[in-house]
Structure 1
Amino acid sequence: MKKIVLCAAVSAICAVPVTAMAEADFYGQLRISLDSVDADNAAAAKDGLTVTDNTSVFGFKAMSEGDGVKAFIHLQAGAKADGNDAADAAFTKRFYFGGLKGDFGQVAYGLMSSAYKMPGFKMDPFYNHSSVNVSGSVVNGAGGTYGLSPVNNLFTDNALQYTSPAMGGLTLNIGLYVDDSEADEHGTGFGAAYKSGNISAGVQYASNGDNATIKNLNADSTAIRVHGGYKADGWSAAISAEQVEKSSTTDDTYLFLVGKANISDSLEAAVTLGSVSGDTTAIEGTGITAGVFKTVAKKTQVFGSLSTVSLDDDTQAEPSVFSVGVIHKF
């Protein structure tokens, strides 16, 4: 089935007239920080003062436009900025996908973020920062912050996703996540998002078959998220609530709140509050991450943040990290 889907996508792209316009763009981000880590665990890989790459990347985007249809591709690789070992790879695989968009909406295929993941990724101001991560430990500069589920991390392969055009502020999406094995245990997902003026809201659902095709969602399990936000002049707030099935009888609940405020034209403050509870998780508790981002040049920010967690299980480590760093886009 994978070959059929891929051949259909390639054939559709090749059929689009490209005489009107063609664009290509290389881009990158240097993201690095100096962290003071209190891992609260003698066996932790990182504790004390450390330099961390916060997912520096290098990417390529291209688009060709024909008669009302645009064909596009997007590839991105990790470009680790703190590698000090000769064995460190210059680039690592992140995602690659291509597709078509027009009045009909957008369809894309490849290795990409699932539609379920995207609201959490967009909402979290400390995504891919040195903070307490979704597993309650100090992250190595990658993934979501405590209070988001693990389904908000990583990329899903063989993903075929469609997003409708906006209809009175409402968009719909559906996804098929192809299982390469002969079992045909494909993952599926669907959702809706609404935006009107300062208000946004949405719901996303994801389901795996007996093989876990959607990343970080267990086999034969489901996840559902509801989310909403409000954006005013100078400040914004958003909330995400997830219920993630761990087995046929157990579920975990994730609550994530975000607030952001513009202190000045070049200075923004952000804070997140995360809560995890459930039947099986050992990381039930509450976490908070707060920080400021200062724009010092058109494409350059410096930042400082503090992230910590308080867990209900006293036997679990409760890490914290203070981080200062820079993000430069080019």
Structure 2
Amino acid sequence: MKKALISAAAAAALLGAAGVAQAQVTAYGLFDISVGKSVTGDSTGNDVGLHSGGDGGASEGNSTTRFGIKGSVDVGSGIKANFNYQAGITGAGATNGKTTGTDGDSKDDNLQLFNRQAWGGLSGGFGEFRFGQQDSVPFQTFIGLDYNGASNGVSAAYFAGSEWLQLSRQSNSLQYISPAMGGLTVQVGYTMDSAANDYKSATDDNEDKKNVVSAGATYVAGPLTLAAAFQGQSTKDDDKSTKDFDETAPYMGFGAQYDFGAFKLKADYHKVDTRSSINAGVVTTVAGGWSLGAQYSIGNDKSRVSNTTDDVKTTAYELFVNKEVLKNVYGYAEIGGAKTDADTLWFGDDSDSATGFAVGMILVF
């Protein structure tokens, strides 16, 4: 990371605050390059290729290639003003990915410069407040329990439909993160329904939308970690399109991890009405300092939304190995697959399974 002191005028422009003497700003980023194809790519018949992380709508490689700037200013009384702006980058140099608004719809990010993070806030002994586009509370609560960092290309939890990954990013979100209190950290969020209007035309109907409240908690006691999260839905009324799924039902998730020393073991469960998933994983360090792990997920979808005639069961797995081979340079290899017993978002009429893999390098700066 490269740090620099910028002038008062530049700091004021970035933070929207007058009278700032100086701000410490960090330029940071990540570059992921790999050979392979994702589970999604395999299901659509793509060939093996060379990718920058984030190609294919952020579905290739392990991590999304990104660039960002973040910083903080001491504003007195032990309080700091903070900001973070981050953009995902494709191999062609364009911004990439999708943002999920409070209505659950995917929004095209290609017109957004900072399409991953764009928030400002205050922090101090009271904790931290943030407002803007940022990761959802459920995502922040459970990402630490995914041993492969929610891989773009082979994430077992994602392809099994785990809801904490579907609720990945929100705009117009106000969040509070508490300081650690005896091992307990609490986070709450409030996302305004105006976020659903960010990309809407004047003719779009938003009368059935509402503000979204979320909460998460993580408790660490020695080798034991416990996590739980909740998030309401932005939909006011169920449209009754299927009697097997209530659109207004909230998300709930629970998880636990135990560090045995030689290895870590985790399990977590997630549910939205008649959709549920369970994930399990293990990771250890082998000779040479390589991290070796495996994760397995089972998703059950009885909503009759993605498939109107059958319940859908999906199983997915991933195996991975990675290591910091040079300073701030990580090598990795991963393989994963998913199998379903009915037509879903990921698989068409001609296929009920797909496999993806990647061998690559991540440079962090």
TM-score by length of 1: 0.78
- 1:191 and 1:38 map into 2 onto residues whose CA distance is 30
Deviation track 1:123-143 (CA, whole Å, cap 9, x = no partner) reads 221424321566xxxxxxxxx
Aligned residue for 1:122, secondary structure, equals: helix
Does structure 1 retain, via aligned residues, the 8 Å contact 2:32–2:363? yes
Q: Contact between 2:136 and 2:167, CA under 8 Å: does it hold in 1?
A: no
| Contact 1:41–1:317, Cα closer than 8 Å, also in 2 | no
Q: Does 1:276 align with 2:311?
A: no
Whether 1:285 and 2:311 are equivalent positions in the alignment is no
In 2, distance between residues paired with 1:38 and 1:174?
33
| 2:221 matched residue in structure 1 | 196
Matched, 1:63 2:88: no
CA-to-aligned-CA distance 1:196-225 (integer Å, 9 cap, x gap): 11111121110023269xxxxx95331000
- Which letter does structure 1 place at the counterpart of 2:125? D
Mark the runs of 5 or more structure 1 residues left unpaired by the alignment. Answer: 1-9, 135-143, 213-217, 246-250
The counterpart of 2:126, out of the listed 89, 104, 116, is 104
Output aligned runs, 1:151-162, within 5 Å.
151-162=165-176
- Aligned residue in 2 for 1:225: 253
Q: Residues 104-123 of structure 1: matches in 2 within 5 Å? A: 104-123=126-145
Task: After TM superposition, list the pairs within 5 Å mapping 1:164-179 onto structure 2.
Answer: 164-179=178-193
**How far apart, in 2, do the equivalents of 1:156 and 1:328 lie?**
27
Report whether the alignment pairs 1:75 with 2:85.
yes
Distance verdict in 2 for CA 1:297–1:186, change over 3 Å: same
Contact 1:132 1:319 in 2 (8 A): no
8 A Cα contact 1:16 1:69, kept in partner: no
Contact 1:266-1:296 at 8 Å conserved across structures: no
CA distance in 2 between counterparts of 1:76 and 1:307 reads 28
Q: How does 1:180-329 map to 2 (within 5 A)?
A: 180=194, 185-210=210-235, 220-245=248-273, 251-264=274-287, 266-280=289-303, 283-313=312-342, 316-329=351-364
Structure 1 residues 69 and 234: alpha-carbon distance in aligned structure 2, compared to 1, 3 A threshold: farther
Looking at structure 2, the residues matched to 115 and 58 of structure 1 have their Cα atoms a distance apart, in angstroms, of 22
The Cα of 1:122 is off from its aligned counterpart by: 2.6
Q: Within 2, Cα distance between the matches of 1:263 and 1:161?
A: 39
Correspondences of 1:138-157 after superposition (within 5 Å): 144=158, 146=160, 148-149=162-163, 151-157=165-171
Shift of 1:257: 1.3
SS in 2 for 1:237: strand
- Partners of 2:34 and 2:42 lie apart in 1 by 22
Distance 2:155 2:278 in 1: 15
- 2-structure distance, mates of 1:90, 1:161: 22
> SS at 1:118's partner residue?
helix
Instruction: Please report how far the alpha carbon of residue 323 of structure 1 lies from its aligned counterpart in structure 2 after TM superposition.
Output: 1.4
Structure 2 counterpart of 1:273, which letter? Y
SS of 1:319's partner is strand
Which residue of the partner structure matches residue 26 of structure 2? 25
Q: Are residues 153 and 80 of structure 1, via their aligned partners in 2, closer, same or farther at CA, if it must alter by over 3 Å?
A: farther
Aligned equivalents of 1:271, 1:29: Cα separation in 2: 24
CA–CA separation in structure 2 for the residues paired with 1:27 and 1:145: 29
Report the alpha carbon displacement of residue 157 of structure 1 after superposing the two structures with TM: 0.8
Look up the SS of the partner of 2:299 in the other structure: strand
- For the structure 1 residues 38 and 239, does the alpha-carbon distance in structure 2 shift closer, same or farther, using more than 3 Å as the test? closer
Cα contact 2:142–2:164 (8 A) shared by 1 = no
Q: Is the 8 A contact 1:37 1:50 kept in 2?
A: no
Q: Distance in 2 between matches of 1:284 and 1:16?
A: 56
CA RMSD, aligned part only?
3.2
Instruction: Tell me what 1:7 maps to.
Output: none
TM norm structure 2: 0.71
From the two aligned structures, give the one with the greater helix fraction. Answer: 2
Counterpart secondary structure, 1:121: helix
2:57 equivalent in structure 1 = none
Q: Residue type of the partner of 1:149?
A: E
Indicate how the Cα distance of structure 1 residues 15 and 302 shifts in structure 2: closer, same or farther if over 3 A, else same. Answer: closer
For 2:173, what is the secondary structure of its paired residue?
strand
Q: In the TM superposition, what is the alpha-carbon distance from 1:232 to its structure 2 partner? A: 4.1
Is the 2:159–2:338 Cα contact (8 Å) retained in structure 1? no
1:320 counterpart SS class: strand
Q: Percent identity?
A: 21
